[in-house]
A = this chain, B = another copy of it.
Amino acid sequence: MDERKLALLSLTAEQDKWSPYSKTRSTINEQPLSKDELDKTTQYWHATLYLCLGMLYLKENPLLREPLTKEHIKPRLLGHWGSDAGQSFTYIHFNRMIKKYDLEAFVISGPGHGAPGLLANFYLEGVYSETYPNKSEDVEGMQRFLKQFSFPGGIGSHMTPETPGSIHEGGELGYSISHAFGAVFDNPKTIALTIVGDGEAETGPLATSWHSNKFLNPITDGAVLPVLHLNGYKINNPTILSRVSEDELIKLFEGYGWTPYIVAGSNVDEMHQAMAGTVEKCVQEILAYQKEARESGKVFRPRWPMIILRSPKGWTAPRKNPGGQYLEGFWRAHQVPLTKVLTDPEELKTLEAWMRSYEPEKLFGKEGKLIPELRALAPDGNKRMSANPITNGGLLRRPLKMEKFQHFAIPVPKPGVTKAPSMANFAEYLEDIVRNNPTSFRVMGPDETESNKLSAIYKASKKVWVNGYLPEDEDGGNLEPQGRVMEMLSEHTVEGWLEGYILSGRHGMLNSYEPFIQIIASMVGQHAKWIEKCLEISWREQVSSLNILLTSTVWRQDHNGFTHQDPGFLDVVANKSPEVVRIYLPPDGNCLLSVMNHCFTSANYVNVIVADKQEHPQYLNMEDALAHCTKGLGIWDWASNDQGCEPDLVMASCGDTSTQESLAATALLRQHLPDLKIRFVNVVDLFKLMPNGYHPHGLTAAEYAAVFTNDKPCIFNFHSYPWLVHRLTYQREGQHLMHVRGYKEKGNIDTPLLLAIRNDADRFSLAMAAIDNLKGVLGNTGAAAREKLLAERIRCVSTAYETGMDPAEFLGWQWPL
């Protein structure tokens, strides 16, 4: 016991600086606010805090014009108080800068749980009422505004899509900084005021996103002003950064390349002065750096300013609850601070006294509107952060300028003869788009654009790099300070940039290795949820689709092996709302062009496109490819021999490597069993398989039967886990005749064909599966053919193991017949 105490003591030596109750400390020591400004700022802040409590507690009596009774209280107390005061404090001080320096800005709230702090501001600025007229600036409107918060049928407790001025919900933590950077790229006038929670700051995605400053061009991009809110506590723990030494804290952010300014304390007047001076210093620095770069034309990497705001958790709440436990300045203030107001009269009294301490009667006029002297503190019109059109990016979105994709077609005189890398022509299409849209299109990726064979883009524009250069870079480094391609080895950061970029009205694409896209499965899910909600909100204009091109696929991991084999992102995406997700697996280069063109013109979707980067047989000329992709799936007559009669068998495929094996299997079958009538089907648009009504692209039962039949076996070779096809088709008539092969989580350092063999998804296995399902039709002929195929498969593996060669090489490509 003593020992533990001793140990604790040795850890508390610096506690004076960790506590927001120590003397107010600020890097900038100025007193920029007059007494009148100071008082008004406090009053404005109090108005927002009053509304925050109203959101948490009140369904009636919004201005406490009657004594507070439990009948006025919501039956279920939901929402978060913890960071509201600090967030509102920050917002209000930045408003002063907008007015003084005529800035264009918007806000991102990392700790979205503290939404009341910003919702209150948005309401006081009038934007909320302009957007939702029944939440008007009067007593009734305020009652509705407060009641709807976290109330069944109302709005969620984050910065949800329903909130005007928001492009960042803050439900899942970690993406505030990357979203902010994404939104200011190519928006040179914009400043993103970005509040980062100290809980959020512990997440991996946030921890690395501070490095975004090495990718921001001070001439052509705007600026991000991060405010790290050292609120002190998470749900039930102190935060790491609030308990390290101040020396470490400052070094950490200087090390990240920022210039940190500290504002720490709890004394309201002192903190207002400190924050006012600090925010102004930061804004002046931002403007000065921009001026320097823009006037000189020289790109450099400023050590941009940031603010570290240390204030008590739940600031301005009672320090302790009636039971004597800490509230303000402790984790208990995280959610609803007084939880027993419905059952404990003393708590209800405490709440009433607390709410009245903000003096609502002095802040709101008779009709219930903020008094004009206070309203004058906030900007007007689109200068209000809540009204910046960037936050409804669809308003600003213009279509991409694109050459016809047909210009980039791969000549395919005959199906299956030409071999070509499907990416090559698409890369030229992309080069063209990059060239024609120099301020509204970016290509993101973790470090793989070259590896993914897309480097043709660099002819139009290189990779942005606002970090150090070396002479070697001239030898194929492909770096420049104003590039359109953005690469950082953080899928989280590049995805966050892209989301911010498109949510603010622009276009883009992420390219990534298929296996590691699962790293951002959750992020993409959150984005899909965001756009799904937006569909229900009439004033939200459509934004560009989030386009994710997956390559270096599961079948091509010759030396990376098992860890690099995960095609399961498709399952994750397929779980999201059918209204907003699309999955395409183009079988060849022309189909890839057609699909990508469609994706670049579409809006409000998450488009996932899977295409291998290596050389592949090409099947369709441009015209046929367009027709095939427009239908989304279809019978390939040139590969079928069931013309004019019922097929005995359907061979189907989805995915480029899978299509190659399926065609080779078809060739083997037709060679060994020439009497068999085979229909070959290829699927590009995966959701065609779902029943009509379950997904907007789903085929009707009749359309489905016309392709797959109801009563013939179908051997379906699928790019990903086979059961995804079963999940999509389980309601289809004849589904018991559907035999799906695909990746079954069996892998090593195999060539594509060896890997297919390991997973029973190779040409031999597919052909044998067909024979097994046609026993009645084929009899002994089938058995003989099957034996030959099996022997061939075994030979294939042993030769490969011996020689180290890819069996595809010594087998040759089996199409055309």
Contact = CB atoms under 8 A, between A and B. Distances in A.
B254 A156 contact: no
Interface in A401-428: none
Interface string A725-757: 011001100011000000001101111001000
Contacts of A199: 447, 489
Nearest to A559: B78
Nearest to A523: B519
Contacts of A346: none
Contact of A468 (B12, B150, B477, B748): B12
A1 to B, nearest CB: 11
Nearest to A78: B559
B560 A156 contact: yes
Contact of A804 (B74, B490, B559): B74
A297 B7 contact: yes
A571 interface: yes
A479 B211 CA distance: 32
B532 A522 contact: no
B518 A15 contact: no
Contacts of A300: 7, 10-11
A765 B261 CA distance: 57
B234 A721 contact: no
Nearest to A332: B476
B469 A12 contact: yes
Contact of A564 (B12, B79, B171, B730): B171
27 contacts: A12-B470, A18-B468, A75-B805, A76-B806, A78-B749, A79-B559, A150-B559, A153-B800, A154-B749, A157-B560, A158-B560, A204-B492, A207-B208, A214-B240, A234-B447, A236-B447, A236-B451, A237-B465, A244-B467, A250-B255, A252-B256, A518-B572, A519-B522, A529-B562, A529-B745, A577-B746, A723-B727
Interface string A352-381: 000000000000000000000000000000
A160 interface: yes
Given A467-B238, A748-B156, A203 B202 contact: no
A301 interface: yes
Contacts of A575: 568, 571, 721, 745
A297 B76 contact: no
A155 interface: yes
Given A447-B235, A727-B727, A468 B256 contact: no
A406 B154 CA distance: 44
Contacts of A10: 298-300
A200 interface: yes
A473 interface: yes
A235 B448 contact: yes
Interface in A119-175: 150-158, 160, 169, 171-174
A775 interface: no
A466 interface: yes
Interface string A654-668: 000000000000000
A270 interface: no
Interface in A449-490: 449-451, 463, 465-473, 475-482, 487-490
B251 A156 contact: no
Q: Which 8 A-B pairs have the closest CB atoms?
A: A252-B255, A171-B563, A204-B204, A78-B559, A243-B468, A156-B561, A207-B208, A251-B255
Interface residues of A, number: 153
Contacts of A331: 477
A533 interface: yes
Given A254-B248, A255-B249, A489-B200, A516 B522 contact: yes
A15 B470 contact: yes
Nearest to A257: B248
A521 B174 CA distance: 16
A525 interface: yes
Contacts of A200: 489
Contacts of A79: 559
A533 B173 CA distance: 33
Interface stretch (A23-31, A33-41, A274-282, A322-330): A322-330
A572 B568 contact: yes
Contacts of A641: none
A463 B516 contact: no
Nearest to A297: B3
Contacts of A564: 171
A325 B15 contact: no
Contact of A235 (B157, B256, B451, B748): B451
Contact of A19 (B245, B465, B470): B470
Contacts of A299: 7, 10-11
A758 B730 CA distance: 23
A101 interface: no
Counting chain B CB atoms within 10 Å of each CB, the highest count among A15, A448, A563 belongs to: A563
A440 interface: no
A539 interface: no
Counting chain B CB atoms within 10 Å of each CB, the highest count among A6, A155, A479, A529 belongs to: A529
Contacts of A78: 558-559, 749
Interface in A254-299: 254-257, 297-299
Interface in A202-226: 202-209, 211, 214
Counting chain B CB atoms within 10 Å of each CB, the highest count among A174, A329, A492, A562 belongs to: A562
B237 A447 contact: yes
A325 B806 CA distance: 29
B561 A480 contact: no
Contacts of A240: 211, 214, 467, 488
A477 B237 CA distance: 7
Interface in A554-580: 558-564, 566, 568, 571-572, 575-577
A702 interface: no
A481 B3 CA distance: 11
A219 to B, nearest CB: 9
A199 B726 CA distance: 39
A61 interface: no
A65 interface: no
A11 B301 contact: yes
Nearest to A522: B518
A6 B10 CA distance: 53
Interface in A9-59: 10-12, 14-15, 18-19, 59
A472 B19 CA distance: 10
A475 B568 contact: no
A253 interface: yes
Contacts of A532: 745
A244 B298 CA distance: 18
A218 to B, nearest CB: 11
